[in-house]
Amino acid sequence: MTPPEPRRRGRPTTPLLSRGKITSAALAVIGRAGYDGLTMAALARELKTAPSALYNHVKSKDEVLNWVQDDVNQTIDVSRFATDPWDQAIARWARSYRDAFAEHAPLIPVIAVLPITGAPHTLTMYDTVAEGLRRGGWPEDLVVDAIVAVESFVLGSAMDVAAPEWIFDVGAEGHLAPTFAAAVAARHGRGTSAADDAFALGLNSLIAGLRATLAATLAARG
Protein backbone atom coordinates (compact mmCIF):
# COMPACT_ATOMS: atom_id res chain seq x y z
CA MET A 1 0.00 0.00 0.00
CA THR A 2 1.39 3.39 -0.98
CA PRO A 3 1.98 5.58 2.09
CA PRO A 4 0.01 8.83 2.15
CA GLU A 5 1.74 11.85 0.71
CA PRO A 6 3.14 14.00 3.49
CA ARG A 7 1.16 17.14 4.27
CA ARG A 8 2.66 20.31 2.84
CA ARG A 9 3.74 22.89 5.31
CA GLY A 10 3.95 26.63 5.14
CA ARG A 11 1.80 29.08 3.22
CA PRO A 12 -0.18 27.85 0.18
CA THR A 13 1.39 28.56 -3.20
CA THR A 14 -1.67 30.63 -4.18
CA PRO A 15 -3.57 32.90 -1.81
CA LEU A 16 -6.90 31.63 -0.52
CA LEU A 17 -8.34 35.09 -1.06
CA SER A 18 -8.11 37.14 -4.22
CA ARG A 19 -9.34 40.51 -5.33
CA GLY A 20 -12.06 38.83 -7.38
CA LYS A 21 -13.28 36.71 -4.48
CA ILE A 22 -13.29 39.65 -2.10
CA THR A 23 -15.18 41.84 -4.57
CA SER A 24 -17.78 39.13 -5.23
CA ALA A 25 -18.25 38.62 -1.49
CA ALA A 26 -18.61 42.38 -0.97
CA LEU A 27 -21.32 42.55 -3.63
CA ALA A 28 -23.10 39.62 -1.95
CA VAL A 29 -23.06 41.44 1.40
CA ILE A 30 -24.27 44.64 -0.24
CA GLY A 31 -27.05 42.75 -1.99
CA ARG A 32 -28.35 41.45 1.34
CA ALA A 33 -27.58 44.26 3.76
CA GLY A 34 -26.94 47.34 1.63
CA TYR A 35 -23.85 49.49 1.66
CA ASP A 36 -24.26 50.32 5.35
CA GLY A 37 -24.09 46.61 6.08
CA LEU A 38 -20.75 46.22 4.34
CA THR A 39 -18.18 46.11 7.11
CA MET A 40 -14.86 44.34 7.20
CA ALA A 41 -16.28 41.99 9.83
CA ALA A 42 -19.29 41.16 7.65
CA LEU A 43 -17.05 40.69 4.65
CA ALA A 44 -14.79 38.32 6.62
CA ARG A 45 -17.83 36.29 7.66
CA GLU A 46 -18.99 36.10 4.06
CA LEU A 47 -15.56 34.82 3.05
CA LYS A 48 -15.47 32.43 6.02
CA THR A 49 -12.20 33.83 7.21
CA ALA A 50 -10.88 35.89 10.09
CA PRO A 51 -10.79 39.69 9.76
CA SER A 52 -7.04 39.54 10.40
CA ALA A 53 -6.63 37.26 7.38
CA LEU A 54 -8.76 39.59 5.28
CA TYR A 55 -6.51 42.53 6.12
CA ASN A 56 -3.61 40.61 4.59
CA HIS A 57 -5.30 41.12 1.21
CA VAL A 58 -7.12 44.45 1.45
CA LYS A 59 -6.22 47.55 3.46
CA SER A 60 -9.63 48.96 4.31
CA LYS A 61 -13.32 49.19 3.47
CA ASP A 62 -12.51 52.11 1.16
CA GLU A 63 -10.23 49.86 -0.87
CA VAL A 64 -13.00 47.25 -1.07
CA LEU A 65 -15.39 49.93 -2.32
CA ASN A 66 -12.77 50.99 -4.86
CA TRP A 67 -12.75 47.39 -6.12
CA VAL A 68 -16.56 47.31 -6.20
CA GLN A 69 -16.56 50.55 -8.19
CA ASP A 70 -14.06 49.05 -10.62
CA ASP A 71 -16.22 45.94 -10.97
CA VAL A 72 -19.28 48.07 -11.79
CA ASN A 73 -17.29 50.22 -14.23
CA GLN A 74 -16.27 47.10 -16.12
CA THR A 75 -19.91 46.72 -17.20
CA ILE A 76 -20.12 50.21 -18.75
CA ASP A 77 -20.19 50.23 -22.55
CA VAL A 78 -17.38 52.25 -24.13
CA SER A 79 -17.25 50.24 -27.36
CA ARG A 80 -18.77 53.01 -29.50
CA PHE A 81 -15.72 55.23 -29.05
CA ALA A 82 -13.87 52.94 -31.47
CA THR A 83 -16.46 53.25 -34.24
CA ASP A 84 -18.81 56.22 -33.79
CA PRO A 85 -18.41 60.02 -33.79
CA TRP A 86 -17.48 61.28 -30.32
CA ASP A 87 -20.91 62.77 -29.58
CA GLN A 88 -22.77 59.57 -30.42
CA ALA A 89 -20.27 57.55 -28.40
CA ILE A 90 -20.68 59.92 -25.44
CA ALA A 91 -24.44 59.41 -25.57
CA ARG A 92 -24.10 55.61 -25.47
CA TRP A 93 -21.47 55.77 -22.71
CA ALA A 94 -23.62 58.11 -20.62
CA ARG A 95 -26.68 55.88 -20.87
CA SER A 96 -24.72 52.76 -20.00
CA TYR A 97 -22.95 54.56 -17.14
CA ARG A 98 -26.24 55.77 -15.69
CA ASP A 99 -27.83 52.32 -15.93
CA ALA A 100 -24.86 50.70 -14.20
CA PHE A 101 -24.84 53.07 -11.24
CA ALA A 102 -28.62 53.36 -10.92
CA GLU A 103 -28.35 49.89 -9.36
CA HIS A 104 -25.60 51.08 -7.01
CA ALA A 105 -26.74 54.60 -6.12
CA PRO A 106 -25.39 54.47 -2.51
CA LEU A 107 -21.91 53.91 -3.94
CA ILE A 108 -21.95 57.24 -5.80
CA PRO A 109 -21.07 59.57 -2.87
CA VAL A 110 -18.26 57.17 -1.97
CA ILE A 111 -16.65 56.95 -5.40
CA ALA A 112 -16.85 60.72 -5.83
CA VAL A 113 -13.92 61.07 -3.43
CA LEU A 114 -12.01 57.85 -4.17
CA PRO A 115 -8.83 57.97 -6.26
CA ILE A 116 -8.82 55.82 -9.38
CA THR A 117 -5.43 54.28 -8.69
CA GLY A 118 -5.74 50.55 -8.18
CA ALA A 119 -8.82 50.39 -10.41
CA PRO A 120 -7.66 48.99 -13.77
CA HIS A 121 -11.09 48.76 -15.42
CA THR A 122 -11.85 52.35 -14.44
CA LEU A 123 -8.54 53.52 -15.88
CA THR A 124 -9.21 51.63 -19.11
CA MET A 125 -12.67 53.17 -19.37
CA TYR A 126 -11.33 56.70 -18.95
CA ASP A 127 -8.53 56.08 -21.44
CA THR A 128 -10.98 54.79 -24.04
CA VAL A 129 -13.22 57.83 -23.61
CA ALA A 130 -10.23 60.18 -23.70
CA GLU A 131 -8.93 58.61 -26.89
CA GLY A 132 -12.36 58.87 -28.51
CA LEU A 133 -12.63 62.56 -27.61
CA ARG A 134 -9.12 63.32 -28.81
CA ARG A 135 -9.79 61.51 -32.07
CA GLY A 136 -12.98 63.57 -32.38
CA GLY A 137 -10.97 66.79 -32.31
CA TRP A 138 -11.08 67.73 -28.63
CA PRO A 139 -7.96 69.61 -27.51
CA GLU A 140 -6.01 67.55 -25.02
CA ASP A 141 -6.30 70.14 -22.24
CA LEU A 142 -10.13 69.98 -22.41
CA VAL A 143 -10.57 66.22 -22.55
CA VAL A 144 -10.75 65.69 -18.78
CA ASP A 145 -13.11 68.67 -18.37
CA ALA A 146 -15.49 67.14 -20.92
CA ILE A 147 -15.36 63.75 -19.21
CA VAL A 148 -16.05 65.24 -15.78
CA ALA A 149 -18.93 67.35 -17.13
CA VAL A 150 -20.64 64.27 -18.54
CA GLU A 151 -19.81 62.11 -15.53
CA SER A 152 -21.19 64.64 -13.04
CA PHE A 153 -24.49 64.73 -14.91
CA VAL A 154 -24.63 60.96 -15.25
CA LEU A 155 -24.00 60.24 -11.56
CA GLY A 156 -26.62 62.77 -10.50
CA SER A 157 -29.06 61.18 -12.93
CA ALA A 158 -28.27 57.72 -11.56
CA MET A 159 -29.21 58.93 -8.08
CA ASP A 160 -32.41 60.42 -9.51
CA VAL A 161 -33.46 56.95 -10.68
CA ALA A 162 -33.53 55.83 -7.04
CA ALA A 163 -35.69 58.79 -5.97
CA PRO A 164 -39.44 58.21 -5.54
CA GLU A 165 -41.70 59.46 -8.32
CA TRP A 166 -43.56 61.65 -5.81
CA ILE A 167 -40.45 63.48 -4.59
CA PHE A 168 -41.69 66.83 -6.00
CA ASP A 169 -45.28 66.56 -4.83
CA VAL A 170 -46.03 69.64 -2.76
CA GLY A 171 -48.98 68.16 -0.88
CA ALA A 172 -51.06 70.64 1.11
CA GLU A 173 -48.46 73.38 0.67
CA GLY A 174 -49.12 74.01 -3.00
CA HIS A 175 -50.05 77.60 -2.23
CA LEU A 176 -46.39 78.28 -1.34
CA ALA A 177 -45.21 77.28 -4.81
CA PRO A 178 -48.24 77.40 -7.15
CA THR A 179 -46.25 77.65 -10.38
CA PHE A 180 -44.04 74.73 -9.45
CA ALA A 181 -47.03 72.69 -8.25
CA ALA A 182 -48.75 73.22 -11.60
CA ALA A 183 -45.59 72.16 -13.43
CA VAL A 184 -45.35 69.01 -11.30
CA ALA A 185 -48.98 68.16 -12.02
CA ALA A 186 -48.44 68.70 -15.75
CA ARG A 187 -45.37 66.52 -15.59
CA HIS A 188 -47.28 63.68 -13.90
CA GLY A 189 -49.97 64.01 -16.55
CA ARG A 190 -47.56 62.74 -19.22
CA GLY A 191 -47.51 59.32 -17.58
CA THR A 192 -43.87 58.58 -18.39
CA SER A 193 -40.82 58.13 -16.18
CA ALA A 194 -39.72 61.47 -14.75
CA ALA A 195 -36.16 60.26 -14.27
CA ASP A 196 -35.87 58.93 -17.83
CA ASP A 197 -37.38 62.03 -19.39
CA ALA A 198 -35.17 64.39 -17.39
CA PHE A 199 -32.11 62.32 -18.27
CA ALA A 200 -32.89 62.40 -22.00
CA LEU A 201 -33.49 66.15 -21.94
CA GLY A 202 -30.35 66.81 -19.94
CA LEU A 203 -28.14 64.52 -22.01
CA ASN A 204 -29.29 65.98 -25.32
CA SER A 205 -28.73 69.50 -23.99
CA LEU A 206 -25.32 68.62 -22.58
CA ILE A 207 -24.10 67.05 -25.79
CA ALA A 208 -25.40 70.00 -27.82
CA GLY A 209 -23.49 72.29 -25.49
CA LEU A 210 -20.34 70.22 -25.84
CA ARG A 211 -20.59 70.36 -29.62
CA ALA A 212 -20.96 74.14 -29.51
CA THR A 213 -18.09 74.48 -27.06
CA LEU A 214 -15.80 72.37 -29.22
CA ALA A 215 -16.65 74.34 -32.34
CA ALA A 216 -16.10 77.68 -30.59
CA THR A 217 -12.83 76.51 -29.04
CA LEU A 218 -11.42 75.23 -32.31
CA ALA A 219 -12.43 78.46 -34.08
CA ALA A 220 -10.82 80.58 -31.39
CA ARG A 221 -7.62 78.59 -31.39
CA GLY A 222 -7.40 78.62 -35.15
d(CA 50, CA 58): 13
pLDDT of 118-148, one tens digit each? 889 999 999 999 999 999 999 999 999 999 9
> What global pTM score does this model have?
0.82
d(CA 27, CA 24): 5
Domain limits, CATH 1.10.10.60, in the chain: 19-58
Give the model's pLDDT for residue 13.
44
Instruction: Give start-end residues of each CATH 1.10.357.10 domain in the chain.
Output: 71-221
Distance of alpha carbon 45 from alpha carbon 183, whole angstroms: 50
Helix (H, G, I), strand (E, B) or coil at 83: coil
Cα–Cα distance measured from residue 128 to residue 116, given in angstroms and rounded to the nearest whole number: 15
Give the pLDDT confidence score for residue 1 in this predicted structure. 53
Please give the distance of CA 126 from its chain centroid, rounded to a whole number: 12
Which CATH code is given to the segment(s) 71-221?
1.10.357.10
pLDDT of residue 8: 52
> Mean pLDDT in the chain?
89
Below-50 pLDDT ranges, the chain:
12-15
Give the chain's radius of gyration (CA, Å): 23
Determine if residue 218 is left, alpha or beta; phi over 0 gives left, psi from -120 to 50 gives alpha, anything else beta.
alpha
What is the third-level CATH fold of 19-58? Arc Repressor Mutant, subunit A (1.10.10)
> Do 213 and 157 meet the contact criterion of CB atoms below 8 Å apart?
no
Local structure of 40: helix, strand or coil: helix
